[in-house]
Structure 1
Amino acid sequence: MPQKKIVLIYLLLNSIFINFTFAQKINEVDKIIAKYPKSFNTTEKLAEKIGKDFDSDAERARAIYSWIAFNIKYDYNAFLNPPRVQGFSYSSEAEKQRKIKQVNDNLIQKAFNSKKAVCEGFTALYQNLAEQLGLKCEIVRGDSKTNLRDIGRKTTLSNHAWNMVFVDKKWRLVDVTWGQGYYDSSKGRMVNDFNPIYFDTDPDYFFAKHYPDSGSYLGSRISKEDFLNGPLIYNTTIENDYKIKSPDSGIIEVKNGDKVTFEIKNISKSNQVFYLNKKNQPVKVQNPKEKRGGLEFQILMDNNIGDYITIFVDTNSVVAFKIVSK
């Protein structure tokens, strides 16, 4: 076998082994962190305990994520009624940096002590603990995509923040704000629901729901148009690696009576696949075909279809599209 092929095979197997080992390590971390106290006197005490209990950077990065997600709750009232931004004066660059650090330290301590925060508090606390444990960590600010109205939205807003942490020679994407739970509009409150999928999320999935203000990731440009006009994917899609192959746009332009082809990877005929019509009634897809490791099916676009169409797999929402008449 040529030397080049041997090297390529070795690199591929080594990459698979590293990823498998990484997954193995972090799966056990949550069980240990769940037994931690809900409160520590200082962030230094928490970082010290994590440092003693876990040896690898991967475990420590996950431990920080898990502890914050288990114990810090999203402050929805603060989100609805944000505090006034307080400015400050300074006479030198050094004084400016000191005051910025003080504002950031206050934000961290407030989140840590009150056990409540919005995304700025989550990300600042994650970075603080990571850096105490010797991990390189950054805060990224940008736009997020969370509801149907975001499909095809014209404006990009800086309304969210997340982290990147450097582990095992790779930057890992982390959104601990979304890892701690979600807002249930039917109940009118936050629901605490730990979700591991926003730790080391696959960039393809992550950037379907996040758009950085810089417009780039690790030096590569990210398409603003693809983000705004792409379909809305849900947590189940990420959890089960349901890749949406078709349509590739989140905006479907149709005439009444058109049939639109959908293709989703990693589902089969054994799954129950349906959508909701404009009366919110479930409609099972007809004559699905297994194709290339997934399922292909068509949906008739008629007067029963509303402004949006959401595909469900086994009762879980997977992906949504905006329907536009030609």
Structure 2
Amino acid sequence: MKIAFVFLLVSFYFSFAQRSGFNDINFKKADSVAEIHKGESLMNLPVLVYNLTAPLDTDVEKFRAIYTWISSNIENDYSSYVKIRNKRKRLVNNRQAFLDWNNNITPIVFDRLPNERKTACTGYAYLVKEMANLAGFNCEIINGYGRTPTLLLKEDSAPNHSWNRIEINNIWYICDATWSAGQTILEDGNSRFEPDYFDGYFLAEPELFAKNHFSINKEEIQLNDTESFTAFIEGPVIYKEAFLASIIPLSPQKMHVYIKKGDLVTFKLNLPDNFKEDKFQLLINTGGRQKTIQPNILRNQDEISLLHRFQKTGLHDVHILVDNDFVVTYVVKVKNAR
């Protein structure tokens, strides 16, 4: 069954700016302010927002304090996520009903936050919006799909995620406070949340963000270019560490690569000009046996190509590593040449 939503794309993310525009800003003071007010009540949001923003001079620092406070003080509630996910599944074929329900559920989720201090992505996005609005920012919720290494999607998958766009100095940026907050660990049917603030989704690189976020907010899509939902879910798996280094996979465009024995595969990535290529390795897992290799490397300014020739047939999980951290995964299926 195909998804009934009309998907245009995420290349509307190219209309967003990225955090590098604030390279001259030191966020230590904003983070310190957020830390000072750790654990404060949500019962009076205007007071909390004032306490977080008043000591800071620039708008981006003010939003930074709000964002880091939310991501460091709100627990991700997996049981709430499951309930919302199941409802989304039931409405997957009725776009308008889904949007109406989603708009109605967010205030309800938000009402529980002051006492419970935990929520699903809907609550994070709503809280970011409310607190940013109180600080004078134009901030909106984006609904759609989030794709992670442990959450792969199919064409009939229901929307499963919410995040935000924020206007700072008349320029729009994107962020995901849910994924900055930490991770949910599932063990023996039980879930537990491990708080661990991650900075990579704060004013994220738009082109990279589009690799694991897909919006269904039609009014936010700009038709500069389009990409289908199918192309989105077929792309390589992106790990959060790619966001810290701003490493963007360019090709192959699909996670599953089909070749013949002896073929050379080129994994091309975009990266910062000053990034050292000797940080890269390939970890290849074949039938449970894995090895780390140093690929042949070609560098052209802000692009790097990692080349490897596959001499054995079979299914190979190819993980691109940077300083031993996973950043991208492909699956290469090698058949006998005929």
Q: Into which bin does the TM-score normalised by the smaller protein fall?
A: 0.7 to 0.9
Structure 1 residue 303, shift from structure 2 partner: 3.7
1:89-108 maps to which residues of 2 (within 5 A)? 104-108=106-110
The gaps in structure 1 that reach 5 residues or longer are 1-14, 86-99
Distance 1:239 1:316 in 2: 11
CA displacement, residues 3-23 of structure 1 (integer Å, 9 cap, x when unaligned): xxxxxxxxxxxx9999245x5
Q: Cα–Cα, structure 1 residues 257 and 141, in superposed 2: closer, same or farther, change >3 Å?
A: same
Q: What residue in structure 2 maps to residue 210 of structure 1?
A: 213
User: Is the deviation greater in 267-276 or in 163-172?
Assistant: 267-276
Distance 1:137 1:298 in 2: 44
Q: Cα–Cα, structure 1 residues 154 and 325, in superposed 2: closer, same or farther, change >3 Å?
A: farther
Question: Equivalent of 1:320, from 325, 329, 336?
Answer: 329
Structure 1 residue 198, shift from structure 2 partner: 0.9
Question: Equivalent of 1:193, from 190, 193, 196?
Answer: 196
Distance 2:200 2:166 in 1: 15
Kept after mapping to 1: 8 A contact 2:280/2:320: no
Q: Cα–Cα, structure 1 residues 58 and 147, in superposed 2: closer, same or farther, change >3 Å?
A: same
Q: What residue in structure 2 maps to residue 11 of structure 1?
A: none
Structure 1 residue 310, shift from structure 2 partner: 2.2
CA displacement, residues 39-96 of structure 1 (integer Å, 9 cap, x when unaligned): 22421221121232223321221111100101001001222345997xxxxxxxxxxx
Structure 1 residue 272, shift from structure 2 partner: 5.1
CA displacement, residues 112-142 of structure 1 (integer Å, 9 cap, x when unaligned): 3311000111111111111111111111100
Structure 1 residue 313, shift from structure 2 partner: 2.2
User: Is the deviation greater in 159-168 or in 45-54?
Assistant: 45-54
1:115-126 maps to which residues of 2 (within 5 A)? 115-126=117-128
CA displacement, residues 138-175 of structure 1 (integer Å, 9 cap, x when unaligned): 11100111126637x33353110011111011111011
Q: Cα–Cα, structure 1 residues 286 and 186, in superposed 2: closer, same or farther, change >3 Å?
A: farther
Distance 2:70 2:129 in 1: 11
Q: What residue in structure 1 maps to residue 59 of structure 2?
A: 57
The structure with the largest alpha-carbon Rg is 1
Q: Cα–Cα, structure 1 residues 270 and 154, in superposed 2: closer, same or farther, change >3 Å?
A: same
1:3-22 maps to which residues of 2 (within 5 A)? 19-20=21-22
Q: Cα–Cα, structure 1 residues 295 and 256, in superposed 2: closer, same or farther, change >3 Å?
A: closer
TM-score (norm 2): 0.76
User: Which structure is richer in relative contact order (CA contacts within 8 A, separation 6 or more)?
Assistant: 2
Residue 270 in structure 1 maps to residue 278 in structure 2:
yes
Q: What residue in structure 1 maps to residue 162 of structure 2?
A: 161
Distance 1:38 1:67 in 2: 9
3-state DSSP of counterpart to 1:227: helix
Q: Cα–Cα, structure 1 residues 83 and 178, in superposed 2: closer, same or farther, change >3 Å?
A: closer
3-state DSSP of counterpart to 2:211: helix
How many residue pairs match? The answer is 296
The root-mean-square deviation of aligned C-alpha atoms, in Å, is 3.3
Q: What residue in structure 2 maps to residue 134 of structure 1?
A: 136
Q: What residue in structure 2 maps to residue 241 of structure 1?
A: 246
Distance 2:284 2:61 in 1: 41
Residue 310 in structure 1 maps to residue 319 in structure 2:
yes
Distance 1:124 1:288 in 2: 46
Aligned AA for 2:282? Answer: F
Kept after mapping to 2: 8 A contact 1:70/1:180: yes
Aligned-residue sequence identity (percent) comes to 22
User: Is the deviation greater in 315-324 or in 127-136?
Assistant: 315-324
Structure 1 residue 191, shift from structure 2 partner: 2.0
TM-score (norm 1): 0.78
Distance 1:43 1:126 in 2: 11
1:29-108 maps to which residues of 2 (within 5 A)? 29-40=30-41, 41-82=43-84, 104-108=106-110
CA displacement, residues 194-232 of structure 1 (integer Å, 9 cap, x when unaligned): 011111111101111110113674523541243122212
Kept after mapping to 2: 8 A contact 1:145/1:209: yes
Aligned AA for 1:29? Answer: A
Q: Cα–Cα, structure 1 residues 26 and 168, in superposed 2: closer, same or farther, change >3 Å?
A: farther
CA displacement, residues 179-203 of structure 1 (integer Å, 9 cap, x when unaligned): 1012345795332110111111111
Structure 1 residue 285, shift from structure 2 partner: 2.5
Aligned AA for 2:167? Answer: F
Kept after mapping to 1: 8 A contact 2:208/2:246: no
Distance 2:263 2:111 in 1: 56
Residue 226 in structure 1 maps to residue 227 in structure 2:
no
Distance 1:299 1:185 in 2: 37
User: Is the deviation greater in 141-150 or in 60-69?
Assistant: 141-150
Distance 1:17 1:139 in 2: 19
Distance 1:303 1:42 in 2: 62
Aligned AA for 1:264? Answer: L
Question: Equivalent of 1:296, from 306, 319, 338?
Answer: 306
Q: Cα–Cα, structure 1 residues 250 and 33, in superposed 2: closer, same or farther, change >3 Å?
A: same
Kept after mapping to 1: 8 A contact 2:282/2:295: no
